[in-house]
Structure 1
Amino acid sequence: MDPSPDPTLRHRTDEVALTVLDPQGVPMTGTEVVVEQRSHAVGLGNIGFDQIPLANDELSGQAAAQAVELAALWLDLHNSATLPFYWGQFEPVRGRPDTRRLLRTARWFDDRGVRVKGHPLVWHTLTAPWLLDLPTAEVVEAQRARIRREVSDFSGVIDTWDAINEVVIMPVFDKEENGITRVAQELGRVGVIRLAFEEARATNPAATLLLNDFNLSADYEHLIEEVLEAGIQVDALGLQSHMHQGYWGEEKTLGILERFARFGLPLHLTETTLLSGDLMPPEIEDLNDYQVSHWPSTPQGEERQAHEVVRHYTTLLSHPSVESITYWGLSDHGAWLGAPVGLVRADGTPKPAYDALHGLVKGEWWLPPTSLRTDDAGQVTVSGWRGAYGVACAAGSGTFTLDGSGSAQVRVG
């Protein structure tokens, strides 16, 4: 595949000669069939934090009804979910992890055909407070055990993890005292990354493990170089894109993708946001430092967000290295920093950005139910975005994929 960006998105599509077989395996000639898309191969995700209470039957009355409506909007647009494994929230008391609730939530998504990722296994922020009482050597062992436990307990349901998060800043982080920064200082950046990846890999050799960061400067590039030179197997690179200070634009976005695509690894845009209200002042260096009591979504901001989300997703997917895009928050309710980043307003109504993105994902980039007639060889030609498809006729139904193979067979029944 040509690694160069292609604004036509041709590399995301495929054409297959599909042979339709009857239940006995005989090609069905001259038969009317209906083909339709079931899912995208490319990851089009969002955080699944809001669905945790719903999946665990913790809601009732109006709150439950609203959660069901929000979940329906979520499921109609996304095919991958990120669930929170922030150590301080997951295990605030040592030995009492929130495994049951998160596992039930992960299965809730999995039952609905949604791929699930855990975020993160190692991070210095929101880490367990009780680590502060331990000497560094014991923190290291506690972190190793935490990785093995989570990767093992969730194996088969969550097999993709942000193995470690924001390592560029980790050893020099000074906003708050924490045990993991001490580990990073002791082992070095490459050493703590090795710890994360090797423990996770040993526990689940089939896992997809990401190195994730918000720092997209040359410092992250240099760190990746060091990690790969050290022989650490990284499956994908995570790039955060919180655009609280304004949309990057096509030129900047493609420039970033080109810089990180040179490593030959899939790129995951792990945390994407675009505002539908006032932008954060440009002089703010740490987004966490901007705190306002009220940060509303505005009609003008919503129209801007709708245009920008179409431009951004189209630009990202024009680059063949991009394998997944995760938007960071469906709703404004409880959004990070209180910012109006959601695709849905706090009252549960979709913003223009939701409709615009839906128009791409389930419109321009989607094959609706389409009637076709098989030829004398029992074949039809199917063209569309790569992903999973279904075929149905009077004799039954079956599934197939558009995956670049050029041909496929499906036995209906």
Structure 2
Amino acid sequence: MFDTSKPNYMKFFYDLFEWSVMEWSLKWTATEPVKDELHYDLPLKGVNEMLSKGIKVRGHNIFWGGPNVVPKWQKNMSGSQLKPLLSKHIQEMTSTFKGKFQHWDVENENLHLHFYEEKLQDPHITEWMFREVHKHDPHTQCFLNEYDVVAGGMTTQAYKDQGLQFKADGVPVAGMGIQSHLGPNFDLSVMKHRLDEVAEVGLPIWITELDIDEYDANKKAKKYADVLKLYFSHPAVHGVLFWGFSDQNHWRPNAAIANGKDVTPNAAGKKVQELLKHTWRTNETHNISHGKTVNIRAFKGSYKLLLHHNGKVIHTENFTVGNSGNSLKINISGTGSNPHVDHVIIG
């Protein structure tokens, strides 16, 4: 996600995306490969770079309980030795990145991976993790994050049940992350049914890891368009994140929407750009005057307002349109004797 040595890669990212997520460098194996040897400088640099560009960031992740992905130095520890280190890790992660993330993936894929449950002999350790993370960083939303929820159906009901149980137990869970590592064949109607199932939990859903493994770029373009239309139109889905975009930095290169060192969009990339930058953006221009109200119907998202007078931009303002819309009051006094020629551009 972050590599300033590849300007084409970064330019493609900044031109298209509004959120970012680090695939590896925040995971415990990366931040502490050797016990007490901490490596926060690189991810912190990347996060600060994203924030400086106005990009929002998800924290992925604090814990990941796969036997092949936990730090090797933990494997021979007893539960009593390991538990204090979980607390220490939470404190270090939340203090280092406090105020920088919108979301925390607290324990990644915990329905499938149970290293910490088994090591500590505590089936409720995930709930404890959520409470501890929220205690140390109450302003960052704590998310579950799971696979095989819409791409396959093996986990859909279990994931729904987990969300409902967390809510019933008062666990500070703010959202349901659904990975979407799709193959070339999928059924949109079945995917929608599974989304509807998880939506019954009553928590926001984020599509956290989207990629579609399809070699044919034209077929891939249609598939990305179909899946994005499903996700963007579902009322419970609040955001979608791609899990990689360039075939030079992708765990499944056939899923990439851009190719080569120049990071050139392929047919799928062009379709994604068309949808995100044009089809689903609202760009309008209106003449305004003192006391005039302009009503605009817009897609939800982040916008910039520019107020022009006599060919010059005299005011700019960033704003967001959410579920409740937005209302802006613009003061155009002092713009001269002919305020009726002022106009506003929103896009």
Query: Shorter-normalised TM-score: what interval?
Result: 0.7 to 0.9
**Equivalents in 1 of 2:257, 2:145: separation in Å?**
23
User: Which residue pairs with 1:390 in the alignment?
Assistant: 305
Shift in Å, 1:406: 5.4
The residue correspondences of 1:45-194 to structure 2 (distance < 5 A) are 48=1, 51=2, 53-54=3-4, 64=5, 67-83=6-22, 84=24, 85-125=26-66, 126-171=69-114, 180=116, 182-183=118-119, 186-188=121-123, 191-194=124-127
User: Which residue pairs with 1:221 in the alignment?
Assistant: 160
User: Which residue pairs with 2:328 in the alignment?
Assistant: 408
User: Which residue pairs with 2:340 in the alignment?
Assistant: none
Amino acid at match of 1:254: K
**Equivalents in 1 of 2:326, 2:186: separation in Å?**
37
Given the alignment of the two structures, is residue 374 of structure 1 paired with residue 288 of structure 2, yes or no?
Answer: yes
**Structure 1 runs of 4+ off > 6 angstroms?**
none
Amino acid at match of 2:222: H
Aligned to 1:202, what secondary structure does the other structure show?
A: helix
User: Which residue pairs with 1:258 in the alignment?
Assistant: 196
Shift in Å, 1:194: 1.2
Shift in Å, 1:137: 1.7
Q: Deviations over 1:319-362 (max 9, x none)?
A: 110011111111122422x4411111244221111110110110
Amino acid at match of 2:143: L
**Equivalents in 1 of 2:205, 2:254: separation in Å?**
26
Aligned partner of 1:313 among 201, 213, 228? 228
Q: Deviations over 1:91-111 (max 9, x none)?
A: 101222221111110010011
State how many pairs are aligned. 316
Scaled by the length of structure 1, what TM-score is found? 0.72
Could you tell me whether the CA contact under 8 Å between 2:305 and 2:317 is conserved in 1? yes
Superposed CA RMSD in Å reads 2.0
Could you tell me whether the CA contact under 8 Å between 1:305 and 1:353 is conserved in 2? yes
Scaled by the length of structure 2, what TM-score is found? 0.85
Give 5+ residue unaligned stretches, structure 1.
1-47, 55-63, 172-178, 278-300
**Equivalents in 2 of 1:258, 1:371: separation in Å?**
37
Higher relative contact order (CA 8 A, sep 6+): 1
Amino acid at match of 1:157: K
